[in-house]
A = this chain, B = another copy of it.
Amino acid sequence: MKAVILLSGGMDSYTAAAIARDSGYDLYVLTVWYGQRHAQEIAAARRVAQALGVKAHRELTVDLASLGGSALLGDGDIPKGGPDPGIIPATYVPARNTVLLSLALAWAEVLGAFDIFIGVNALDYSGYPDCRPEYIQAFEQMASYATKAGVEGGRFHIHAPLVSLTKAEIVKRGIALGLDYGLTHSCYDPQLDGRPCGQCDSCVLRARGFAEAGVKDPLL
């Protein structure tokens, strides 16, 4: 059975893809370049897709950076020191996951697939509105109205297998599935030589996750 997987090159989407594979799905992975700052992510997404043994890897580009509104897209500084609970960080990208899921939905319908995986996580990034289960449900409902496949009775399922896991649980799950997190890239603001900054929210959460899981991060 086919599933479309949104893959960024980070550890969460890598783990979500591995969970899909472990559930028996053939992986059709989609990477969307929406104006992120760093080319390391491109290399990481390709490495990860290859390691997963995917059936197909598509890359689409859509220039959300031209619309502005996010530190992740070059509009202001990347915050350092770890996220504040309950506050939406400056790295929030307006409607990002809706753009990503709509493109995944388009490809799924072309493929005749009804399963889409996204590596969102509601615990660490409690501030991101489009990482919450109620958002995922609302998108799923909309998807069946939006499509020919839905009108014909098909029901799309947006899988968010990490949504209620801690970062440490994600690490443990991935290690159990044999993943090599050395292939991934997480940092929002890497150094000139490509090494992670160690201070952005993404680095802080990653370090906390590996520490709590009792596992050494292969990137460090």
Give the B-binding residues of A (Cβ under 8 A). Answer: 58, 60-64, 66-69, 88, 92-99, 101-103, 105-107, 109-110, 129-130, 132, 134-135, 138-139, 141-143, 145-148, 150-151
Further contacts, 4 of them, CB under 8 A, given A64-B106, A101-B102, A130-B147:
A58-B66, A95-B147, A98-B142, A102-B102
Is B92 in contact with A102, judged by CB distance below 8 angstroms?
Answer: no
Q: Would you call the interface of chain A mostly helix, strand, loop, or mixed?
A: helix
Chain B residue numbers with a CB within 8 Å of A148 are 88, 92, 94, 129
Smallest CB gap from A32: residue in B: B62
**A139: B residues at CB distance < 8 A:** 142, 146
Number of copies of chain A assembled together: 2
B145-A138 in contact (CB<8A):
yes
- Cβ-defined contact, A106 with B110, below 8 A: no
Of the candidates A69, A95, A135, the one having the most CB atoms from chain B within 10 angstroms of its own CB is: A95
CB-CB < 8 A to A101: which residues of B? 102
CB distance from A63 to the nearest CB of B (A): 6
Distance to closest chain B CB from A129 (angstroms): 4
A131 smallest CB distance to B (angstroms):
10
Contacts A/B (CB < 8 Å), 26 sampled:
A58-B67, A60-B63, A60-B66, A61-B61, A61-B62, A61-B63, A62-B62, A62-B103, A67-B110, A69-B106, A93-B106, A94-B107, A95-B103, A96-B106, A97-B146, A98-B106, A98-B143, A99-B102, A102-B102, A129-B148, A130-B146, A135-B142, A135-B145, A138-B146, A141-B141, A141-B142
> Are A69 and B109 interface neighbours, CB within 8 A?
yes
Cβ-defined contact, A106 with B146, below 8 A:
no
How far is the CB of A101 from the nearest CB of chain B, in Å? 8
Interface pair A69/B142, CB less than 8 Å apart: no
Q: How far is the CA of A62 from the CA of B129 in the complex (A)?
A: 24
Closest-CB distance, A4 to chain B (whole angstroms): 10
